[in-house]
Chains A and B, each alone.
Chain A
Amino acid sequence: MPKEHANWSPYDNNGGTCVAIAGADYCVIAADTRMSTGYSILTRDYSKICKLADKSFMASSGFQADVKALQKVLSSRHLIYQHQHNKQMSCPAMAQLLSNTLYYKRFFPYYAFNVLGGLDSEGKGCVFTYDAVGSYERVGYSAQGSGATLITPFLDNQLKSPSPLLLPAKDAVTPLSEAEAVDLVKTCFSSATERDIYTGDSVEIIILNASGVRHESEQLRKD
């Protein structure tokens, strides 16, 4: 007897795009604030970025209910870590925790496409990029979500980040200054907004560096 297929799906795609860029001593994490379902906009003002630790911010696009659940799991695991070790989790440690958390649900995945950005223990910017089931790698920059295919080629061209696999090893972080990187991110989002229907309204930008956290917001096209 041919297999019967379900007439409903537990997943929905709320769209949106996330970008992160790692610098020598800073990290920029950005995401648009549009949340949609199908052709409708649910809200123009939804934050996709979550602070997991002092030096780790996660931006996630995909199914926001799964993203919210994932953020809660990671935040509570971080709280437990702080109780047990009396310190904050480092960004690479949080990166592996996220990978394991995603793989834990290998057979009913979190429909979340994540980018983790922060500062490592040396103060250098680090960005980790994930797939839906937890495979991850440290990169110099990354884009995820509906506008990723539009933004990534542009960042490949502008940032020319050498592969971390090359020997002799070359630094994957961009030599751009913090202000230049923020400007680049704004350009990415305004371009992606032009050609991706799920990206727009406004972009929320978080800049992480040695002196702390800064927020910036830029309006985007609302059509």
Chain B
Amino acid sequence: MKLDFSGLESSAPLYGGNNELLSDGFSAAPSFDLPVTSDFDDFQKNSIQMVKPAKGTTTLAFIFKDGVMVAADSRASMGGYISSQSVKKIIEINPYMLGTMAGGAADCQFWHRNLGIKCRLHELANKRRISVTGASKLLANILYSYRGMGLSVGTMIAGWDEKGPGLYYVDSEGGRLKGTKFSVGSGSPYAYGVLDSGYKYDMTIDEAAELARRAIYHATFRDGASGGVASVYHVGPTGWTKLSGDDVGELHYSYYPVEPAVVEQEMTEAVAV
């Protein structure tokens, strides 16, 4: 049905008409062709990028002599607002495999839970545990099939299987990389700095845990999108154990204690007369 809009049309033209108040040359109709776009200087694109949770996080994992060390911060930010300081970014897929979370929290949580289910089904069907290679491939294939649809997942799958410790990086672009040391998130450059300078394959578990903890601490110190609690997990031949969970604010003062200043004049309470 064609509606009659003639009553709504305004009789005065929008511009280019002869309104003397404004005809000072500025409001005349443009004499050049305007480009056919609504986003002239990428303002819209940049502002959307600003609000996107651009993997604002720090997670890391590395293989060493005694297994895999996995660590992460716990801050979730939405644009400039900290939506949570207690997000579990290390997801326990099953008692011998861990996944880290970076990117969309719901995407990571859901697909890691789904991976846990698939790993369990594999165990039941094949009467043996799934390898880290297999588990990471399952996840990577799922994410590849959703490629381009807007999922945001940057995860590391860490575990111990028959071949020993295993570590893979998997992301929502469909990438899957095997490696011995990874860090994912906006704080990763800072974490890599600490990790690369302190890493030795022959570290003990305590040394490796302290390296991981320091790397997360330094990343939270310099990256605004990382913070909260630094969690450190170890994956060994018998499965994973949580080694520590420390508030990074408190870690700062344990690493850099404040020297009490020399008091020259002490103020005392004024006594009422």
Contact = CB atoms under 8 A, between A and B. Distances in A.
Contact of A163 (B85, B110, B243): B85
A166 B245 CA distance: 4
Contact of A2 (B36, B104, B151): B36
Question: How would you classify the secondary structure of chain B's contact residues: helix, strand, loop or mixed?
Answer: mixed
A149 B79 CA distance: 13
A167 B242 contact: yes
Given A2-B36, A137-B84, A149-B81, A167 B105 contact: no
A6 B89 CA distance: 36
A89 interface: no
Interface residues of B, number: 30
B37 A165 contact: no
Between A2, A100, A106, the greatest number of chain B beta carbons within 10 A of the residue's beta carbon is seen for A106
Given A2-B38, A131-B105, A166-B245, A139 B150 contact: no
B37 A163 contact: no
A1 B84 CA distance: 41
A67 interface: no
B71 to A, nearest CB: 12
B245 A167 contact: yes
A62 to B, nearest CB: 14
Contact of A165 (B36, B107, B243, B245): B245
B149 A107 contact: yes
A135 interface: yes
The listed residue with most B CB atoms (<10 A of its CB), out of A2, A129, A134, A137, is A137
B38 A99 contact: no
Quick one: which of A134, A135, A136 has the most chain B CB within 10 A? A135
Nearest to B246: A166
B206 to A, nearest CB: 15
A171 B211 CA distance: 28
B247 interface: yes
A103 B229 contact: no
Contact of B105 (A106, A135, A139): A135
Interface in A124-155: 129, 131, 133-137, 139, 149
B228 A163 contact: yes
Contacts of A129: 84
Contacts of B247: 163, 166
A170 to B, nearest CB: 10
Contact of A134 (B106, B149, B231): B106
Contacts of B108: 135
A164 interface: yes
A102 B231 CA distance: 28
Task: Choose among B87, B106, B247 the residue with the greatest number of A CB atoms under 10 Å from its CB.
Answer: B106
Given A99-B110, A167-B246, 7 more contacts: A100-B110, A103-B106, A106-B107, A163-B245, A163-B247, A165-B74, A167-B242
Interface of A: 2, 99-100, 102-103, 106-107, 129, 131, 133-137, 139, 149, 163-167
Interface of B: 36-38, 74, 81, 83-88, 104-110, 149-151, 228-229, 231, 242-247
